[in-house]
Amino acid sequence: MTENPRTRETRPQAAPASSRSGAVRETRTAQVRPRTEGWTQQKDAEGRPLLQFASPKRGKPPVHLADLTPAERTEKVKELGLPGFRAKQLSTHYFRHYTSDPEQMTDLPADTREQLVAGMLPSLLTEVRRLETDRGDTIKFLWRLHDGALVESVLMRYPGRITLCVSSQAGCGMNCPFCATGQAGLTRNMSTAEIIEQIVRANRLIADGGLGGKKADDHSMERVSNIVFMGMGEPLANYKRVMDAVRSMVAPQPDGLGMSARGITVSTVGLVPAIKKLADENIPVTFALSLHAPDDHLRDELIPVNSRWKVDEALDAAYEYYAKTGRRVSIEYALIKDMNDHAWRADLLAEKLNQRGRGWVHVNPIPLNPTPGSVWTSSEIPVQNEFVRRLNDAGIPTTLRDTRGKEIDGACGQLVATTEDEAASAAMS
Ligand code: SAH
Domain hosting 87: range is 65-120
User: Ligand 1 pocket, 300 CB below 6 A?
Assistant: no
Q: 106 with 189, same domain?
A: no
Please list, residue by residue across 254-292, b when 16 or more beta carbons sit within 10 angstroms of its beta carbon and e when fewer do.
bbbbebebebbbbbbbbbbebbeebbeeebebbbbbbbb
292 is in an annotated binding site: yes
With CA atoms as reference, report the closest residue to 267 among 351, 169, 344, 352. 169
What three-state secondary structure class fits 316?
helix
Whether residue 50 lies inside any domain: the answer is no
Domain endpoint, select from 73, 99, 120: 120
Whether residue 8 lies inside any domain: the answer is no
Residues acting as catalytic residues: 152, 412
427 CB-near residues (< 8 Å, 6+ apart): none
Structure confidence at residue 409 as a pLDDT band (50, 70, 90)? confident
Could you tell me whether strands 186-189 and 161-165 are parallel, antiparallel, or unpaired per DSSP bridges?
A: unpaired
127 CB-near residues (< 8 Å, 6+ apart): 141, 142, 143, 201
What three-state secondary structure class fits 156?
strand
User: Ligand 1 pocket, 385 CB below 6 A?
Assistant: no
d(CA 247, CA 136): 30
290 is in an annotated binding site: yes
Q: 92 with 237, same domain?
A: no
391 is in an annotated binding site: no
Q: Are 105 and 113 in contact (CB under 8 A)?
A: yes
- Strands (E) in 313-360, as ranges, are 329-335
User: Ligand 1 pocket, 332 CB below 6 A?
Assistant: yes
Q: What pLDDT is stored for residue 162 in this prediction?
A: 96
Whether residue 226 lies inside any domain: the answer is yes
Whether residue 39 lies inside any domain: the answer is no
Cis preceding-peptide flag for 102 (omega within 30 of 0): no
Q: 248 with 379, same domain?
A: yes
d(CA 68, CA 245): 10
Q: What pLDDT is stored for residue 370 in this prediction?
A: 82
Closest Cα to atom 5, ligand 1: which residue? Answer: 230
Q: 269 with 164, same domain?
A: yes
With CA atoms as reference, report the closest residue to 130 among 64, 201, 191, 184. 201
Whether residue 30 lies inside any domain: the answer is no
**211 CB neighbour count, 10 Å cutoff:** 22
Q: Could you tell me the CATH number of the domain that includes residue 108?
A: 1.10.150
Closest Cα to atom 12, ligand 1: which residue? Answer: 290
| Residue 117 C-alpha from the chain's centroid | 29
Domain endpoint, select from 120, 137, 152: 120
Which of 2, 169, 179 gets mutated to test ligand 1 (max ligand atoms within 8 A of its CB)? 179
Closest Cα to atom 4, ligand 1: which residue? Answer: 230
Q: 275 with 368, same domain?
A: yes
Q: What is the average pLDDT score of the chain?
A: 89
Q: 93 with 134, same domain?
A: no
Give the number of the atom of ligand 1 that is nearest the alpha carbon of residue 370: 22
Q: What is the pTM of this model?
A: 0.91
Sign of CA dihedral 199, 201, 207, 209: negative
Q: Could you tell me the CATH number of the domain that includes residue 264?
A: 3.20.20.70
Q: 89 with 184, same domain?
A: no
89 CB-near residues (< 8 Å, 6+ apart): 105, 107, 108
* DSSP designation for 40: -
pLDDT digits 0-9 by tens, 310-368:
999 999 999 999 999 999 999 999 999 999 999 999 999 999 999 999 999 999 999 99
Q: 278 with 379, same domain?
A: yes
What three-state secondary structure class fits 372?
coil
Q: What percentage of the chain carries pLDDT values higher than 70?
A: 90
| Residue 410 C-alpha from the chain's centroid | 12
Q: 100 with 72, same domain?
A: yes
Structure confidence at residue 180 as a pLDDT band (50, 70, 90)? confident
User: Ligand 1 pocket, 365 CB below 6 A?
Assistant: no
Q: What pLDDT is stored for residue 399 in this prediction?
A: 96
Whether residue 53 lies inside any domain: the answer is no
Q: Are 181 and 237 in contact (CB under 8 A)?
A: no
179 is in an annotated binding site: yes
Q: What pLDDT is stored for residue 220 in this prediction?
A: 58
Closest Cα to atom 3, ligand 1: which residue? Answer: 230
CA distances 324 to 83, 251, 278, 317, 328, Å, are 43, 22, 10, 10, 11
Whether residue 351 lies inside any domain: the answer is yes
Q: Quote the ligand 1 centre to 384 CA distance (angstroms).
A: 17
246 CB-near residues (< 8 Å, 6+ apart): 261, 264, 266, 283, 285
Which of 153, 267, 299, 340 gets mutated to test ligand 1 (max ligand atoms within 8 A of its CB)? 267
With CA atoms as reference, report the closest residue to 290 among 182, 381, 131. 182
What three-state secondary structure class fits 167?
coil
Q: 189 with 114, same domain?
A: no
Q: Quote the ligand 1 centre to 82 CA distance (angstroms).
A: 45
Q: 143 with 184, same domain?
A: yes
Domain endpoint, select from 120, 142, 166: 120
Which of 164, 228, 230, 234 gets mutated to test ligand 1 (max ligand atoms within 8 A of its CB)? 230
pLDDT at 59 over 50: yes
Whether residue 51 lies inside any domain: the answer is no
pLDDT digits 0-9 by tens, 208-230:
999 986 655 555 579 999 999 99
pLDDT at 374 over 90: no
Q: 153 with 274, same domain?
A: yes
Give the number of the atom of ligand 1 that is nearest the alpha carbon of residue 231: 4
Q: Are 329 and 202 in contact (CB under 8 A)?
A: no
For the chain, the domain total comes to 2
Mean pLDDT score, 253-267: 97
pLDDT at 46 over 70: yes
d(CA 60, CA 72): 18
What three-state secondary structure class fits 367?
strand
Element (H, E) at 265: strand 264-268
Element (H, E) at 342: none
